Amino acid sequence: MPIIFQFDEATSCVCSTAHGIVAVEEIEAHLRMKAEAQLLSKPEIFDARDVTLDLSTEDLKHIATVLREVMNFSKPGPTAVVTNTAYIECLARAYAAMTAKENPDFRVYNTIAEAKKWVASLVAKDPERYAPARTPSEK
């Protein structure tokens, strides 16, 4: 799969990495898998460096629609997209503009370090919101 992710409990962050050529179908599958894992409200660092995106503006609209659908009126977690290409940065910023109402915490960075710093600052401000879910015996 061109997009893989894992949840890092130490940082309360979803770490996603894209590989190869990524099209709208892969991004939709990624969102649906995160929904299934109940991770859509967690902060995410999405590493899109050295990846090729096969996306159009219409695809971005479709992805925004899928996000609204899988969120089911909940607020998505903050998202930091990390890229080293102007094309992906432009697409990410266009997507951010399309979804600003639902997801105001969407940023684009050029380094993983910048993204981690931003996510850590958000988690530090509201640790209860981003804490891993506890089982009933842990509460």
CATH number at residue 45: 3.30.750.24
What six digits make up the tokens of 137?
A: 């015996």
- The residues, ordered by sequence, that sit 6+ positions from 71 with a Cβ below 8 Å of its Cβ are 35, 40, 102
Residue 138 belongs to some domain of the structure: no
> Quick one: CA dihedral 104, 109, 115, 121, positive or negative?
negative
Beta strands 52-54 and 44-47: pairing type?
A: unpaired
Residue 105 belongs to some domain of the structure: yes
pTM summary value: 0.88
Residue 79 belongs to some domain of the structure: yes
Residue 139 belongs to some domain of the structure: no
The pLDDT of residue 135? 43
What six digits make up the tokens of 42?
A: 């967690």
Round to whole Å and give the CA distance between 59 and 18: 17
Does 66 have pLDDT greater than 80? Answer: yes
- Percent with pLDDT over 70 in the chain: 93
Residue 107 belongs to some domain of the structure: yes
Amino acid identity, position 95: Y
The pLDDT of residue 134? 52
- Residue 42 DSSP class: S
Beta strands 44-47 and 13-18: pairing type?
A: parallel
Q: How many domains does the chain have?
A: 1
